[in-house]
């Protein structure tokens, strides 16, 4: 028996439980994160999450401009998520789309519980996310890279935010939905998670799940977040502790 999605020509899950890109249902795509890739930023990170390729630069804490936006009690977090015109198959317009504006807000809200903004009032931390190549799950990849970039900048944090999506494909809950599964599958659930604090900072759902499927989807995504967390920590360790910390 071969199972497919809305696109009947695409085999999303075969009779052996193998997905369209050769992965098992509980297997994430290849993930690579590198910290400190931009010398002009206070902190930065580069991530390859499947075929997603994303670079993040963090600036701050620094003075807020215009001044009337400053908060005397806490710092401000600003986030800009932008997809390069060449990041998708059909060239997109350089101007920010409604989707990019929405994802910018989603990532900012997912990071705010982790960042100790109260420690630097009257200042702002700016996060610039540039998607060089998109392949499904780019908001999770961007969120994971942004956390590493914040840590690389020395921003006080309660924990890093890890992120991974789960979803429903051919009536099966799977880990780390790729672009084909996102387009032709039945549900997609991005999750942001602080592993040390065991707190979810982001959860969205596109699709329909039963209560049992919803619970399993959340658990599957959190498992993926914990895998990403180890790679995030390794990225920082490789920069600051390899070669005597001279990187």
Name the residue among 179, 182, 167 with its Cα closest to residue 218.
167
Q: Which residue has the tokens 């549900």?
A: 187
Question: Which residue range is the domain that position 52 belongs to?
Answer: 30-241
* 188 closest CA partner among 162, 218, 161, 211: 218
The CATH number linked to 199 is: 3.30.230.70
The Cα-based distances of 109 to 4, 42, 78, 103, 228 in angstroms read 35, 21, 10, 10, 19
- Predicted confidence (pLDDT) per residue in 163-189, tens digit: 999 999 999 999 999 988 888 889 999
More confident residue, 176 or 89: 176
pLDDT band at 17 (very low <50, low <70, confident <90, very high): confident
What's the length of the chain? 247
Angle in degrees, 0-180, between the axes of helices 98-111 and 138-152, rounded to the nearest 10: 50
pLDDT number for residue 33? 98
**Segment 143-172 mean pLDDT:** 96
Q: What is the CA radius of gyration of the chain?
A: 18
pLDDT score of 14: 87
pLDDT digits (tens, 9 = 90+) for 93-138: 878 889 999 999 999 999 999 999 999 999 999 999 999 999 889 9
At residue 6, the pLDDT reads 42
**Cis omega before residue 212 (within 30°)?**
no
Amino acid 95: pLDDT:
81
118 lies in a domain? yes
What is the count of structural domains for the chain?
Answer: 1
pLDDT at 7 over 80: no
The model's pTM is 0.91
Count of H helices and E strands in the chain? 4, 12
In a domain, 74, yes or no: yes
Residue 154 within any structural domain of the chain: yes
16: tokens are 């052996």
For residue 221, pLDDT over 60 is answered with yes
User: Would residue 228 count as lying in a domain?
Assistant: yes
Give SS3 for 9.
coil
Instruction: Give the model's confidence band at 4: pLDDT under 50 very low, under 70 low, under 90 confident, else very high.
Output: very low
pLDDT of residue 184: 87
pLDDT > 80? residue 92: no
In the block, tokens 């990170």 appear at 45
Which one, of 168, 74, 151, lies nearest residue 114 by Cα? 151
Distance CA 169, CA 18 (A): 11
Between 90 and 145, where is the model more confident? 145
Pairing of β 52-63 and β 76-83: unpaired
Query: For 35-74, how does the pLDDT look when each residue is reduced to its tens digit (9 = 90+)?
Result: 999 999 999 999 999 999 999 999 999 999 888 888 999 9
- What pLDDT is recorded for position 9? 55
Q: Which residues pair with 81 in a beta bridge?
A: 129
Exposed/middle/buried for residue 22 (C-beta within 10 Å: 0-12, 13-18, 19+): exposed
Examine residue 7 and state whether it is found in any structural domain, yes or no.
no
pLDDT classification of 243: cutoffs 50, 70, 90: low
Residue 41 lies in a domain: yes
Average pLDDT of the chain to the nearest whole number: 91
Q: Which strand (E) or helix (H) includes residue 204?
A: none
At 123, phi and psi to the nearest 5? -125, 175
- For residue 91, being part of any structural domain is answered with yes
């Amino acid at each position: 028996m071969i199972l497919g999605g809305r696109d009947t020509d695409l085999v999303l899950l075969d009779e052996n439980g193998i997905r369209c890109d050769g992965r098992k249902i509980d297997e994430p795509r290849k993930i690579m994160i590198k910290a400190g890739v931009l010398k002009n930023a206070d902190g930065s990170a580069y991530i390859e999450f499947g075929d997603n390729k994303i670079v993040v630069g963090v600036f701050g804490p620094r003075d807020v401009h215009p001044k009337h936006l400053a908060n005397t009690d806490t710092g401000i977090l600003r986030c800009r998520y932008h997809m390069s015109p060449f990041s998708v198959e059909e060239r997109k317009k350089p101007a920010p789309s409604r989707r990019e504006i929405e994802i910018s807000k989603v990532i900012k809200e997912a990071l705010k519980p982790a960042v100790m903004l109260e420690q630097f009032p009257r200042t702002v931390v700016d996060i610039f996310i540039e998607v060089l190549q998109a392949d499904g799950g780019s908001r999770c990849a961007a969120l994971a890279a942004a956390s590493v970039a914040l840590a690389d900048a020395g921003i006080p944090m309660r924990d890093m935010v890890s992120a991974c999506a789960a979803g429903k494909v051919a009536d099966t809950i799977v880990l780390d939905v790729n672009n084909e599964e996102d387009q032709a599958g039945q549900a997609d659930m991005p999750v942001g998670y602080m592993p040390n604090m065991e707190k979810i900072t982001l959860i969205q759902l596109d699709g329909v799940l039963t209560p049992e499927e919803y619970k399993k989807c959340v658990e599957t995504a959190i498992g993926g977040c914990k895998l990403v967390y180890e790679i995030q920590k390794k990225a920082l360790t490789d920069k600051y502790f390899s070669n005597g910390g001279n990187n």
